[in-house]
Structure 1
Amino acid sequence: MIVSTGLACTILVGGFLLLVLLRVPVAFALGLATLPLVVMDLRLTPFILIDRMFQSYNSFILLAVPFFLLAANLMNSGRITDRLIDLARVLTGWLPGGLGHVNVMVSMLFAGISGSSTADAAGCGKILIPAMQREGFDTRFAVAITACSSVMGVVIPPSILMVVWGGVMQISVGALFLAGAIPGLMIGGSLLLTVYVYAKRRGYPTTGRPTMREGWRAFSRSILALLTPVFVVGGIVLGVVTPTESAIIAAGYAMILGLFVYRTVSFRDLGRIFYDTGRFASISLFAIGTATAFGWLLAFFKVPTLIVETLTYHDVGLFGTALIIAALFLLFGLFIDAIPTIIILGTVLMPVAADAGMHPMVFAMIGIISLAFGLVTPPYGLCLLIASAIGGLNVTQVLRDVVIILIPMLIVLLLVMLIPELTLWLPKLVMPAAV
């Protein structure tokens, strides 16, 4: 039997959604959804899918994922987050709603070091949510702003999602890092403005103006940590190291800071840190394998071609295509982790974007920013789940504030679609050959 494109798409997507609704873990659901087609179509065998899974692991660039996770875990365990919070307090704590601004600013600083939103939500949330509660902030707002600001970890370089995107789509990771800088700062600025409005309306307190001595002390205590993005992003952009090598450097540098410079990590702690990193990395990498098999089947049955033909027939234009792409990433992000979504949906939509005349860097940023929203939107919403657990609230109690805070971030996403130079200007300036 030869399965048609429409039937194959229905079986794959329908089977996957059914398994997710039955609470089967996403990585397993992706693999199990492919089995009916293997049985039905004479051209397919289980060995083809297994081969595709193993081929997805044969990528040097994917080694960057566990090492960036290790760097983030070492930063949190080494209490480097505390030093970044002190610096953020000096920079923005004197504004109305001081700790809210500190929350956003430390997420921007941490994003430039770890590349992981979940590490940001956990590390910063454990300190800042209780502190904001003590200062009289509404717990729902404290949880919402912690969760929403943590998504900058996947937009501001270095970013694990950008490493995966570059490896899957064969795009320069260094150029992607540069492409995310301006949109990431814009998201940070929109969140700071949102905190300001909340603080004015609700009368949230400031933390007081710092003295020059306090400012210098906070900067000097955090300067070594702030050098991490210089080594990571700078090394890739200058062509000195590969993304994987830069991730190893970040992890090694974080270990040196924790063990020997700040002495906040002991050799006994390393076993637990390595175990946690290995556990999270294995989940991500297994999902990459099953998502690759799922995405390959979509391509095998020419689902991308069907989508391109449909959009071409209706002639929605460049901006219309961008809106459809963003909507699909936002929809998938509600249910699936970002990494398998990149492999499944990114590879399917890449020819759609190319057919509409969209630059690959712009396509990448639309996808990555859209997927960032999935970290704070139920039912997946991993960062929201982490922050809610820390604040002792149910997710539904926080949703109203999350929606309000996400509105300025959606405006930034629309600006990225409307003004491609927001994404392309920095890569063209620094790495024109890669663009």
Structure 2
Amino acid sequence: MSLSQAVRPGAGAPAASVAGVIDAWLGRCIEFVAAVLIVFEVALLFSGVVARYALHHPIVWSDELAGSVFLWLGMLGAVIALRRGEHLAFNALSQRVSPRAQVLFQAVVLAVVFATLCLLLKPAYDYVEDETFAVLPNLGVPSSWRVLGIAVGVVLMLATVLLQAVSRGNFRATASGAAIVLVLGLVLWQLAGPLARIGNLNLFVFFVLIVGAAIVIGVPIGFAFGLATLTYLACTTSTPLSVVVNRLDQGMSQPLLLAIPMFIFLGLLIEVTGFARTIIALLASLMGFVRGGLYYVLLVAMLLVSGISGSKVADMAAVAPGLFPEMRRRGAKDGDLTALLASSAAMADTIPPSIVLITLGSVTGMSIASLFSAGILPALVLTVALGVVTFVRTRDDTPPEDARPDWSKIRKALLPALPAIALPFVIRWAVVEGVATATEVSTIGIVYALVVGILLYRPVQWKRFYPALVETAVLSGAILFVIGTATGMAWSLTQSGFSSQLAKAMTALSGNAAGFLAITIIVFVLLGNILEGIPAILLFAPLLLPVSHAFGINDLHYAMVVVIAMSIGLFAPPFGIGFYAACAIGKVAPDEVIGHMWRYLGALIVGLIAVAAVPWFSTAFIH
């Protein structure tokens, strides 16, 4: 069940009809503004590269302006995703109940989203007021202009929910859903005193029971995280709720995350300009005689592009649009494709220049160059594990029409594909040579794709350009909103003291090095699943690395185990943000993917155990 299913206009109701018209008009306006912001971001970032590298006169205010526009883009994208029902959500249960129960579930979901936004409204306004006293140093304007995007986004999402609730025209179901949420909220408020007195046991109530129940009935993941964090702080602490908006801002405004919409757009542009068509023709001719050949292409492609953008989401967005259409045409199942995409993103988190490794090195004092060298073999071990599963899974597939490679077809496909194949090498060259940052480099790819597409791969499908911009905003907003609310949840867990308590418990339970590594794997898979990757690293790696010294575990070896375990958790259901991001990029419902995920996650776990058991995989290239 998506939110859009809960908002169909009532039959012939005048109010519903008017609300539907207003909702459609408002949606078109927001989509247009979001599309303009994406074009502006591309132009601004690319201009910054040209000014700095070619003209040697950097634009000092470009990063501040890009970051400000990015926050607005993320919130407007979240509004569009809410209107379209494309926020990341788990719908398996809601689709298996009776039609009458589905209507009630939809109403409850609508009410939960509305309640979360209401709880955010006043804190968002307070946060804007607080930021009026801060000034962006290079632009010289109040920071409130930047964070106003959060408040505007919350207001627009509230308007969207109200308009769509009226459009649905089912007053009884809407009232029932609102009543259920209101009663539960009052009960929780009455229990605030006892919950505060039981200490950190209340974390189970808010971050397991409430989050789990909300996700199970189909509440979008970001709103489930946000509701749990807001109610936890309101019921058990004296912390002002504007802190949640601050964490939302910090989570969505990380400079590296700007790579997400840029690479999503680049991935869509690859298909619009004809790059995908020529690359797929070559790959099909190269691997067409192998059963499941394009599955292996997907694995290798993720291995090659990993680390270019610094974001796993951006890596997936760059690869999937080019490969998925052809794989689907050849009979691949949507759920299986998306499961392999998520798993291949998880396997490649140690490939340099990985932002996770950079983060780990910065918070622990470990050599980033050594971490880069240590990460190569573990990634290859996981690739082999996934390759074995792919081989077993596809060996019973229908044999390809060609029994051996057709070299004449390969030569014919190679020449037109060369400019397209050069794209990832151009991007990586720009990063390695310092021409552009990981955030900016996607714009070089976008400009390259446009120029080559116009000159060589004609005709360019310009009518798909605007929809690609809107789709970029939708995917970016859905993903960034989850990251923002997950950052708030991670902050709450940190402030509760849970992280230090966990470190002490792990030390007490570990009998030897093997036991400590086993506990580390379990804990970081769970933390990666709940907290999102980098917050998990920031919270726990500095605490646990000194403990590993007591067991004689090599720092680099332990770092690889931590990063891989965290990454597996990040891409594992039911809470892993990366899993839902892969579903969004693949445009597949999460419940269609879960059944296929377990075989690939099992392979990753086997590979992780091998890396943990054999330190040489992590230290082979270290002198």
Query: Structure 1-normalised TM-score?
Result: 0.75
Query: d(CA) in 2 for partners of 1:91 and 1:188?
Result: 20
Q: Match of 1:207?
A: 402
Query: d(CA) in 2 for partners of 1:388 and 1:37?
Result: 32
| 1:6 is the counterpart of 2:197 | no
Cα pair distance change 1:254/1:52, threshold 3 Å: same
Q: Match of 2:37?
A: none
Residue 213 of structure 2, aligned match among 13, 18, 22:
18
SS for the counterpart of 2:460 is coil
Q: Match of 2:264?
A: 69
| Structure 2 counterparts to residues 28-427 of structure 1, below 5 A | 28-95=223-290, 97=291, 100-109=292-301, 112-113=304-305, 115-117=314-316, 120-121=319-320, 123-131=322-330, 133=331, 144=336, 147-148=339-340, 151-153=343-345, 155-156=347-348, 162-163=354-355, 170=362, 181-197=376-392, 204-205=399-400, 207-263=402-458, 265-315=460-510, 317-328=512-523, 330=525, 341-343=532-534, 345-351=536-542, 353-354=544-545, 355-357=547-549, 358-359=555-556, 360-374=559-573, 395=592, 399=595, 403-404=598-599, 406-420=601-615, 422=617
Q: What's the Cα RMSD here?
A: 4.3
The answer to whether the 8 Å contact 2:527/2:569 transfers is: no
Query: d(CA) in 2 for partners of 1:217 and 1:176?
Result: 42
Deviation at 1:118, TM superposition (A): 6.0
Query: d(CA) in 2 for partners of 1:118 and 1:369?
Result: 19
Deviation at 1:185, TM superposition (A): 4.2
Cα pair distance change 1:74/1:376, threshold 3 Å: farther
Query: d(CA) in 2 for partners of 1:202 and 1:268?
Result: 37
> Quick one: which amino acid aligns to residue 501 of structure 2?
L
Cα pair distance change 1:10/1:161, threshold 3 Å: farther
Between 184-193 and 9-18, the greater mean CA deviation after superposition: 184-193
Deviation at 1:190, TM superposition (A): 3.9
SS for the counterpart of 1:112 is helix
Cα pair distance change 1:225/1:385, threshold 3 Å: same
Unmatched segments (≥5 aa) in structure 1: 134-138, 430-435
SS for the counterpart of 1:208 is coil
Deviation at 1:296, TM superposition (A): 0.8
Query: d(CA) in 2 for partners of 1:227 and 1:157?
Result: 23
- 1:406-435, CA deviations, whole angstroms, 9 ceiling, x for partnerless residues? 544432232233345545666x69xxxxxx
Cα pair distance change 1:266/1:118, threshold 3 Å: closer
Deviation at 1:90, TM superposition (A): 3.8
Determine which structure has greater relative contact order: mean sequence separation of CA pairs < 8 Å that are 6+ residues apart, divided by chain length.
1
Cα pair distance change 1:298/1:333, threshold 3 Å: closer
SS for the counterpart of 1:210 is coil
> Quick one: which amino acid aligns to residue 12 of structure 1?
F
SS for the counterpart of 1:253 is helix
The answer to whether the 8 Å contact 2:282/2:417 transfers is: yes
Deviation at 1:230, TM superposition (A): 2.6
> Quick one: which amino acid aligns to residue 342 of structure 1?
G
The answer to whether the 8 Å contact 2:377/2:618 transfers is: yes
Higher Rg of the two aligned structures? 2
Query: d(CA) in 2 for partners of 1:21 and 1:375?
Result: 9
The answer to whether the 8 Å contact 1:56/1:289 transfers is: yes
Unmatched segments (≥5 aa) in structure 2: 1-192, 307-313, 550-554
SS for the counterpart of 1:34 is helix
Cα pair distance change 1:331/1:101, threshold 3 Å: farther
Query: d(CA) in 2 for partners of 1:367 and 1:342?
Result: 6
Query: d(CA) in 2 for partners of 1:315 and 1:389?
Result: 41
Q: Match of 1:432?
A: none
Aligned length: 410
The answer to whether the 8 Å contact 1:236/1:243 transfers is: yes
Query: d(CA) in 2 for partners of 1:275 and 1:414?
Result: 42
Deviation at 1:184, TM superposition (A): 4.4
Deviation at 1:314, TM superposition (A): 0.9
Deviation at 1:105, TM superposition (A): 1.4
The answer to whether the 8 Å contact 1:56/1:292 transfers is: yes
The answer to whether the 8 Å contact 1:117/1:153 transfers is: yes
Deviation at 1:289, TM superposition (A): 1.7
Query: d(CA) in 1 for partners of 2:537 and 2:476?
Result: 21
Query: d(CA) in 2 for partners of 1:48 and 1:388?
Result: 33
- 1:32-72, CA deviations, whole angstroms, 9 ceiling, x for partnerless residues? 11223322345411122222322334432221121121221
The answer to whether the 8 Å contact 2:222/2:486 transfers is: yes
Deviation at 1:309, TM superposition (A): 0.6
Query: d(CA) in 2 for partners of 1:68 and 1:387?
Result: 14
The answer to whether the 8 Å contact 1:8/1:301 transfers is: no
Deviation at 1:161, TM superposition (A): 12
Query: Structure 2-normalised TM-score?
Result: 0.55
The answer to whether the 8 Å contact 2:279/2:417 transfers is: yes
